[in-house]
Amino acid sequence: MAEPFADRLIQRTRALGHPLCVGFDPHLALLPPLFRRGSMAPGDKQTADAVAEFCLAVLDRIAGRAACIKPQSAFFEALGWRGIEVLDQLMRAARERDLLVILDAKRGDIGSTAEGYAAAYLSADAPLRADALTVSPYLGGDSLEPFLAAAEKSGAGLFVLVKTSNPGSGDLQDREALGQPIHAHVAAQLAAGAPRLAGPATGWSGVGAVVGATYPEEARKARERMPSNLFLVPGFGAQGAGAEAAVTAFSAGPDGMLEGGVVSSSRGILFPDDADVSRADAWGKAIDQALADACESLERAVKKRGRS
């Protein structure tokens, strides 16, 4: 078995000094001129090739500078089966560059179907192997079990949706049952399961939780409920949350800096405003600058809060 995901992730964020995760959301409409080819119709081979070239070019610029990437499965699925081939290529290339992969697919199903998803993404011999997968809890505890079992075997991790960053997240997640919002019940379940994917080196657990950066108060409460579960915090940058809000639920590690998960930025790094150019050098500089800005603001945030 590989080293548990939680240890692999936290060791990387400690070494880098920040918890940045680069989201790969290759919106076709946002692809810069430099990479566009033909009509960019969603199912075409040319389109898939263009997206692959774009993703690999970004990957080369972030290798060594981020702990992990978070490909968003939807944007690859939107290209048809060729898009999944691109996703496969991207995940393999990330592994070669020592970047962990959190596949954001929000899967969830029951029994043998959940086993099918786990076999697709989490097993040691998974054809689309990721280091961790995002999962939805709507179907209940038994639906998470096959994912947990596969992750235990292979050293992978999970991030279960707890409190998401969208305005409508309250519709279901905030409803009070037995005096607690639904997301607190999910959190309790994940806290109870934490020992199953615990990393002995860092004390963190790969039974992770998705906790949006747009609700800092909820995020702090979520950390109280799940003291050792890794958090995946999306919504940094494009969705409007700042670096300090994003790490609000992190806690001080052995070096005094805040740790306990990753903070994901997608559009802000993939599609900075000044990267909409047709010259490769200008494009590369724009990506590097966006990446440097994100790293620096997160570095400051984990130091500042860690010292206070």
Which tokens belong to 255? 């070096």
Q: How far, in Å, CA of 83 to CA of 74, rounded?
A: 10
Ranges within 121-150 binding a second copy (CB under 8 A)? 121, 125-128, 136-143
Task: Name the residue with tokens 């950066």.
Answer: 213
167 lines the binding site for a second copy (CB under 8 A): yes
**Torsions phi, psi for 194 (to 5 deg):** -50, -40
Q: Which of 265, 208, 190, 205 is nearest to 234 (CA)?
A: 265
Which position among 74, 201, 280, 292 is part of the footprint of a second copy (CB under 8 A)?
74
Minimum distance of a second copy from residue 85's CB (angstroms): 4
Binding residue for a second copy (CB under 8 A) from 2, 172, 192, 280?
172
Closer of 10 and 120 to a second copy (Cβ):
120
Which residue in the set 17, 80, 242, 284 belongs to the binding site for a second copy (CB under 8 A)?
A: 80
Q: Are 80 and 32 contacting, i.e. CB atoms less than 8 angstroms apart?
A: no
Query: Which residue of 124, 166, 220, 274 would you call a contact of a second copy, by CB under 8 A?
Result: 166
By CB under 8 A, tell whether 193 contacts a second copy: no
Are the beta carbons of 241 and 214 closer than 8 angstroms?
yes
Concerning whether 304 is annotated as a catalytic residue, the answer is no
Q: Choose among 192, 230, 104, 206: nearest CA to 152.
A: 206
Q: Quick check: 38 binds a second copy (CB under 8 A)?
A: no
Give the count of alpha carbons within 13 A of 292, CB side only: 6
3-state helix, strand, coil in the chain (%, to 5): 50, 20, 30
Name which position in 15, 178, 217, 273 contacts a second copy (CB under 8 A): 178
Site residues (vs a second copy, CB under 8 A): 25, 27, 41-43, 72, 74-75, 77-85, 87-88, 106-114, 116-117, 119-121, 125-128, 136-143, 161, 164-173, 175-178, 182, 185-186, 189
Positions marked active-site: 106
